[in-house]
């Protein structure tokens, strides 16, 4: 879903960092806690990482919040994660204090496949509107998102437009056509895969894998990853 207000040009020149925030459940299990506690701590850590990111040379930060495949998780766990995302998109005062513009990427709300609940949709729309004038880092949250679903939607959109299937045409029919290519992708918690995240946008990205679970990923870890761009 794209919005009409312009993206800050300075942010466009700065790196685009994408993060697969993995390991909440393992973090909780190691402490004898329910998985939901790991997700809660993961949401709090995202706020901490965003605050750290705005002090570094990052123009775009895109995080994998909830994938199209995550709906098969236990219902209670999904409900908890949905509530956390409603809370995340409601951190408007903090985002404005840090001059962060928030965006969302995922299956469009009006598409037949979309599964984002109405109350999360409302929180997303409000956050987009109330941070759209901010000119600092752009935080994009991927929710109900899958790279394959995005590419299939882009191909369908290209065909409906009567255009040839070219790389440029696909670019124009992605969920967020103005999202720049990913410069650095980070995956936490020891997994060495990209899990259907920003497949098109990450074609030339450098990748940083760390064994640290997401709730423990901090500014020092972020700097270690950013060193790949030096």
Active site residues: 22, 70
The b-or-e profile of 32-41 (16+ CB within 10 A means b, else e) is: eeebbbbbbb
Ordered DSSP codes for 80-96:
HHHHHHHHHTT-HHHHH
Tokens of 86: 């409603």
SS3 209: strand
d(CA 149, CA 146): 5
> Which residues does 204 contact at the CB level (< 8 Å), separation at least 6?
181
Q: Across 116-200, where does the E strand assignment appear? A: 138-145, 184-187
């Amino acid at each position: 879903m794209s919005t009409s207000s312009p993206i800050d040009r300075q942010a466009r020149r700065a790196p685009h960092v994408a993060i697969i925030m993995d390991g909440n459940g393992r973090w909780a299990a190691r402490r004898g806690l329910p998985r939901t506690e790991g997700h809660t701590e993961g949401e709090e850590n995202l706020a901490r990482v965003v605050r750290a990111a705005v002090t570094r040379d990052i123009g775009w930060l895109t995080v994998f919040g909830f994938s199209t495949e995550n709906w098969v998780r236990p219902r209670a766990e999904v409900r908890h994660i949905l509530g956390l995302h409603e809370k995340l998109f409601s951190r408007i005062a903090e985002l404005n204090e840090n001059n962060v513009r928030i965006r969302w990427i995922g299956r469009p709300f009006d598409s037949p496949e979309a599964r984002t609940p109405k109350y999360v949709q409302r929180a997303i729309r409000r956050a987009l509107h109330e941070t759209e004038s901010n000119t600092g880092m752009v935080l994009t949250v991927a929710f109900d998102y899958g790279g394959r679903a995005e590419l299939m939607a882009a191909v369908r959109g290209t065909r409906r437009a009567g255009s040839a299937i070219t790389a440029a045409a696909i670019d124009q029919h992605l969920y967020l056509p103005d999202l720049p290519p990913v410069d650095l992708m980070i995956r936490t918690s020891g997994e060495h895969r990209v899990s259907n995240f920003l497949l098109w946008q990450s074609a030339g990205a450098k990748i940083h894998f760390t064994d640290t679970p997401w709730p423990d990923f901090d500014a020092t870890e972020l700097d270690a990853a950013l060193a790949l761009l030096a």
